[in-house]
Amino acid sequence: MDDESGNGRGRSFAAGLIIGGLVGAGLALLLAPQAGEETRHGLARRARRLADDARDRYAEAKHRIRRSRAERRAAHDDDDASAG
């Protein structure tokens, strides 16, 4: 009787190892990081987007500064004209 129950436990253990190994391998495939080349391309795309965004923001800030200067000059010229 002890032999039979011991043999059953051994089979259960072996089945558990096999099932656990298969589940682990499947999860590893699902959760594995991207390949190096894919990662580099993704980082390059992200860097380009960030650079484009920075250029756009710089251009917008430059435009706002120029517009503000022009408005201040116009206001200053109006003050000079009304004072004189």
Domain range spanning residue 69? 35-84
> So what's the pLDDT on residue 84?
62
- The verdict on residue 21 lying in a domain is no
pLDDT at 16 over 80: yes
Q: What is the pTM of this model?
A: 0.49
Q: What is the rounded CA–CA span in Å between residue 29 and residue 35?
A: 12
Please give the average per-residue pLDDT across 11-28, as a whole number.
Answer: 88
Question: Given a cut of 70, is residue 30 above it in pLDDT?
Answer: yes
- Residue 4 inside a domain? The answer is no
Structural Rg of the chain based on CA atoms? 35
pLDDT digits (tens, 9 = 90+) for 36-82: 788 788 889 999 999 999 999 999 999 999 999 999 999 888 777 77
- Residues 17 and 35: their CA atoms lie apart, in Å, by 29
The count of domains in the chain is 1
